[in-house]
Amino acid sequence: MQSSVPTANRSARRALLAAGAALGVLLAAGCGGTKEPGAVWQPGGGTDASGSPLPGASADQPAAREPISLSATGDIIMGNAPSRLPANGGKGFFDEVADALSADLVMGNLEEPLTEDTGAGKCGPNSTACYQFRAPPGYAAHLRDAGFHLLNQANNHGHDYGPQGYANTQKALDEHGLKHTGAPDQITVVDVKGVKVAVAGFSSYAWSNSLTDIDAATAVVKRAATMADIVVVQVHMGAEGADKTRVRPGTEIFYGENRGDPVKFSHAVIEAGADLVVGHGPHVLRGMEFHQGRLIAYSLGNFAGGGRSLNPSGRLGWGGVLKVSLRPDGSFADGSFTSTRMNSVGKPTMDTGRQGLGLVRQLSRSDFPSTGAGFDPDGTISAPEAG
């Protein structure tokens, strides 16, 4: 059955780490020091980059004792400029799924740069087996309007238009009040209703925190645990394809690339202090399990593939919204999975048949017999009984 570490012990360890970090900040302030490289401290009081409060937050709100809600999606591509963009300039692209996304902190995996053509596209002019994506910088507004607060850039398409395209994406997100994470050593801390949430993104590519170097990954998570009450790991891991729904121990290789050992990585970062692992990358849904009382979603599938940038057929078209409520000590309070699917042009819609939910339930049961998440018919998530 599920292994566990008492919440009190975990909280005490984090409190000690946080006390040490706080002392370091005080020493830096008094002795001319600087804050840790790569750490991104977002405005306090539940505010976004523009200083406006996040939903449900106020600048003078004391530390919350109630759980906070977090939602997350898998891969998001809104279109592929210049010729494969959605109708109406993308306006209303997420309208059908916006209600399902609603949470105190809404996160997504942005699987494309938001940039004009930098002249540094990764695919050659005659390439037939290379995929590169980009959407106009102004499309960041569609993410904001859908309710997103934070986007992950740690994935295989983050550098489709080179370092400048990556930087342009960060600028576009910043200009629309959206946070981002995923660069090497980047830890993005958001104050949500008085609870500090640290988010770090990982992949097997040089422009992100490392998925394959477990020691380096756990060091990032341990540092994040000193900066916040709750630590969320966003990770792009695993081989791709309609037949890649299963999670098994061991390293996954795709087109000669090391796409990580999803189980080893996820267990390691939770043991280092992560409270939630949000996986994506295989382009299909995968099962979910609990490790030491913390939830791992191994892949949330394809959420959006505008302009048919992602294949919407069969299981490749299924995705979903994971929503969890976590207590301020990071422990799991409750959660749910809501099925979505891409329509014929890659726009996200609700999956009224709950096909994705059925698949996730089946995979969680088969791949993790003793630690798998349980799912009610409505998508409510439950942890296995401790053994």
pLDDT band with cut points at 50, 70 and 90 for residue 128 = confident
- Classify residue 286: in a domain, yes or no: yes
Kindly give the pairing relationship between strand 230-236 and strand 276-280. parallel
Same domain, 82 and 202: yes
Same domain assignment for residues 248 and 218? yes
- Overall domain count for the chain: 2
Q: Would 123 be classed as within a structural domain? A: no
Assigned token pair, 37: 């490289």
Residue reference for tokens 């409750």? 334
Residues 291 and 355 both lie in one domain: yes
- The C-alpha torsion from 284 through 289 and 290 to 295, rounded to 10°, is 20
Statement to judge: residues 31 and 138 lie in one domain: no
If residue 13 lies in a helix (H) or strand (E), which one and from where to where?
helix 7-31
Domain residues for the domain of 230 are 38-118+131-382
Residue type, 216: A
CATH number of residue 140's parent domain: 3.60.21.10
Q: Are residues 21 and 70 located together in one domain of the fold? A: no
Residue 338 lies in a domain: yes
Q: What is the pLDDT of residues 277-303, one digit of tens each?
A: 999 999 999 999 999 999 999 999 999
User: How confident is the model at residue 275, as a pLDDT?
Assistant: 98
Tell me if 268 is assigned to some domain. yes
Sequence letter at residue 111: E
Query: What's the rounded Cα separation, in Å, for the pair 93 and 111?
Result: 16
Q: Would the CA dihedral through 342, 344, 347, 351 be positive or negative?
A: negative
65 forms beta bridges with none
- Taking residues 12-24, report their average pLDDT: 52
Whether residue 387 lies inside any domain: the answer is no
pLDDT at residue 47 is higher than 90: no
pLDDT (tens digit per residue) in 69-93: 999 999 999 999 998 999 999 999 9
Please indicate, yes or no, whether residues 163 and 22 belong to a single structural domain of this protein: no
Same domain, 211 and 346: yes
**Which pLDDT belongs to residue 130?**
87
pLDDT band at 38 (very low <50, low <70, confident <90, very high): very low
Pairing of strands 294-297, 276-280: parallel
Claim to verify: residue 28 and residue 46 sit in the same structural domain: no
Whether 126 is in a domain gets the answer no
Residues 312 and 361 in one domain: yes
78, 112 contact by CB (below 8 A) = yes
* Closest to 272 measured CA to CA, from 238, 226, 210: 226
* pLDDT tens-digit series, residues 218-246: 999 999 999 999 999 999 999 999 999 99
Examine the domain organization and report whether 17 and 113 are in the same domain: no
Note the helical H segments in the chain. Answer: 7-31, 98-101, 140-146, 162-175, 214-227, 262-272, 355-367
Q: Are 72 and 300 in contact (CB under 8 A)?
A: yes
The pLDDT value recorded for residue 63 is: 45
Q: What is the pTM of this model?
A: 0.86
Pair 27, 48 in one domain: no
